[in-house]
Structure 1
Amino acid sequence: MEPFQPELDLVVSHQDQVSRLPEGVEVLASSAFCPYYMLQHGDHFISVQGHPEFSRDYSRALTMKRRDRIPPNRVREALHSLNARVDDLLMMRWILNFFYDR
């Protein structure tokens, strides 16, 4: 992952996540909440549990649409988190580098 950065912040919407590491898969990034945050399988597959493709406006709209299923405190936390800096462009660069370097 170039350029290297020790931490990665993306918009997340964790309704589902990888809960068991498949055989032959390497963990590239993890967190306490999501131990299999970014995975690689050989030279052909990369996945990330965050959403570099989500804009803040889309994430806000998605949160509001789901607010009947999300506890009010989590809705407030989610909306507040949209003020944070995200590394969406860096993640997109990493994805492009992954495929172009093959």
Structure 2
Amino acid sequence: MQSTKKLIGICFGHQLIVQSLGGVVYKSPKGWGVGLTQSEVYKTEPWMIPLAKSFKLPVIHQDQVIELPKDATVIAGNPFCPYSVVTYGGSVLTFQGHPEHKKTYTQALMLRRKDVMEETMFSAGLRSLDDDSDAQLVAKWVVNFLEE
């Protein structure tokens, strides 16, 4: 995807962009991804200042990317969600996680959907919100990417 305009996709936006570019998105057989999840950085880019080997973001999703489109580059992921951060041609950056969410908002969303989640997954996700989020770091990366 070549463009002089920059585009950011978050959660459903991440999934929508992947699918529109030829990738595949499905309801994960692993169940819900909820709480604060850590992703490992596989590839660093110039806009990723300050550098980090991993980061934690709030997530709440059942669908996720299972196959990338051609020319996509995986920036970060984890065993539950291997494609949690992806770029396309230097003009598009997408995240499965939510750098814009406060942990309290993620908790409220989880509580509203508790009845559709498996109890152990829900409880573990709720406990994970006690950890520190790296949302400010990721927000800085987004700004750096947009200003690049």
What range is the shorter-chain TM-score in?
Answer: over 0.9
Q: Which runs of 5+ in 1 are unaligned?
A: none
Per-residue CA distance 1:31-73 (angstroms, 9 max, x = gap): 1111111100012100011111111111111111001101222
TM-score, structure 2 as length reference: 0.65
TM-score by length of 1: 0.93
CA distance in 2, matches of 1:57, 1:34: 22
> Counterpart of 2:66 in structure 1: which amino acid?
S
Q: Residue 62 of structure 1 aligns with which residue? A: 109
Number of paired residues? 101
* Corresponding residue of 2:99: 52
Residue type matched to 1:9 in 2? K
- The residue correspondences of 1:75-86 to structure 2 (distance < 5 A) are 75-86=122-133
- 91-100 vs 26-35, which moves further: 26-35
Matched, 1:3 2:47: no
Query: Runs of at least 4 residues of structure 1 off by over 2 A?
Result: none
- Cα deviation for residue 12 of structure 1 reads 1.3
The root-mean-square deviation of aligned C-alpha atoms, in Å, is 1.0
Give the distance between the partners of 1:32 and 1:74, measured in 2 at CA: 15
Q: CA deviation at 1:95?
A: 0.6
1:1-102 pair list within 5 angstroms: 1-101=48-148
Question: Unmatched 5+ residue regions in structure 2?
Answer: 1-47
